[in-house]
Amino acid sequence: MSDTAPRATKAVIPAAGFATRFLPVTKAIPKELLPIVDKPVLQYIVEEAAAAGLEDVTLVTAPGKDAMVDYFDARADLDNALKAKGKDEMLARVKAPESIAEITAIRQGGAKGLGHAVGRAASHVGDEPFAVLLGDEFYEPDLLPRMIDLQAETGGIVLALLEVPREEVVRYGVAAVETTDDEDVVRVTGLVEKPAVDDAPSNLILIGRYVLPGTIFPVIDQTPPGRGDEIQLTDAMDTLRDKGTPVHAVVYRGRRYDTGEPVAYLQTLVELASRRDDLPGFNAWLREFSATLD
């Protein structure tokens, strides 16, 4: 292990998908902008990146999703209207997204898979290590800094894994692992994208946070389409591992805030709403309503 490797300072958020699980609303609204009450999912993700020191954020987008980029821009008409009405607190909340991070947008140019989307950020990221944050899930704030530290120590790939019931592995990338001296860190000895239950090397799934060395980009370029006929990030990472790049993973034991499909989105929305103290009556209603369900 070397302690001279540079630390990741840039984040890439792939956010170019059609979000078919949320059609028809995603015909007009990117799923990354679905609200958690009054704040879009994407803001949670950009805040998570910035809190980990990643203030250079590239959004990989697609036609029809420009609202994601607009969201982080100033809106003079709205600012002026709020100022004129003396709504200073609301004005501060409206302006907050402008200064969380430096946002760059890159078009993916076709739905060719997660690996392809990440590869589109190559010219912006360059040779340095960088983080990938998937645009529809977010995590507790200690995960990403831990991963960035570990990547700076190893110089390799750092993943985050979550233990799930075995039947769920079919929807995710899955890792084969060996233990290390650190009980929260494993060494990854193999990766497979969306295996059948019987072929899965473990019940540890890849969740949507990765810290990768810049050497992943030429490998992505050489990666043929895999599962779903898409260029898979999992396949590119496994090739780099096969060529000798160390791959480690933090085993995450916190809450996964998933918003990628309707039930998970509703759970995230209700849980975070229930924790707010500015939605009077919501929890009392929720308790009463729950009691009416069988």
Q: Residue numbers of the site for ligand G1P (CB under 6 A)?
A: 114, 134, 137, 172-173, 193, 205-208, 232, 234
Residue 137 CB, nearest approach to ligand G1P (Å): 6
Beta carbon of residue 293, minimum distance to ligand G1P (angstroms, whole number): 28
Shortest Å, Cβ 106 to ligand G1P: 18
Cβ proximity of 63 and 17 under 8 Å: no
In the complex, the smallest distance separating the C-beta of residue 136 from ligand G1P, rounded to whole angstroms, is 8
Nearer Cβ to ligand G1P, position 48 or 137? Answer: 137
Q: Which is nearer to ligand G1P, 79 or 230 (CB)?
A: 230
CB closest to ligand G1P, residue no: 173
The alpha-helical segments, DSSP class H, found in 62-141 are 67-70, 76-84, 88-95, 114-119, 122-125
Q: How far is the CB of 228 from ligand G1P (least distance, A)?
A: 8
Which of residues 82 and 133 has its CB atom nearest to ligand G1P in the complex? 133
Which of 46, 161 has the CB closer to ligand G1P?
161
Helix, strand, coil % in the chain, rounded to nearest 5: 40, 20, 35
Q: Which of 97, 260 has the CB closer to ligand G1P?
A: 260
In 3D, which of 235, 249, 237, 114 has the Cα closest to residue 179?
249
HSE value, Cβ hemisphere, 13 Å, CA-based, for 54: 31
SS3 215: coil
Nearest approach, Cβ of residue 120 and ligand G1P (Å): 15
CB of 174 to ligand G1P, least distance (A): 8
How far apart are the C-alpha atoms of 128 and 292, rounded to whole Å?
54
Contacts of 158 (CB under 8 A, 6+ apart): 147, 148, 150, 151, 210, 211, 212, 247, 248, 249, 250
Q: Select 50 or 264, whichever has its Cβ closest to ligand G1P.
A: 264
Can you tell me whether residue 131 is helix, strand or coil? Answer: strand
- Pick 22 or 97: Cβ nearer ligand G1P: 22
Looking at the DSSP bridge assignments, the partners of residue 224 are: none
Tokens read off for 233: 């990030």
Residues 143 and 250: their CA atoms lie apart, in Å, by: 8
Q: At what angle do helices 41-51 and 143-154 cross, to 10 degrees?
A: 50
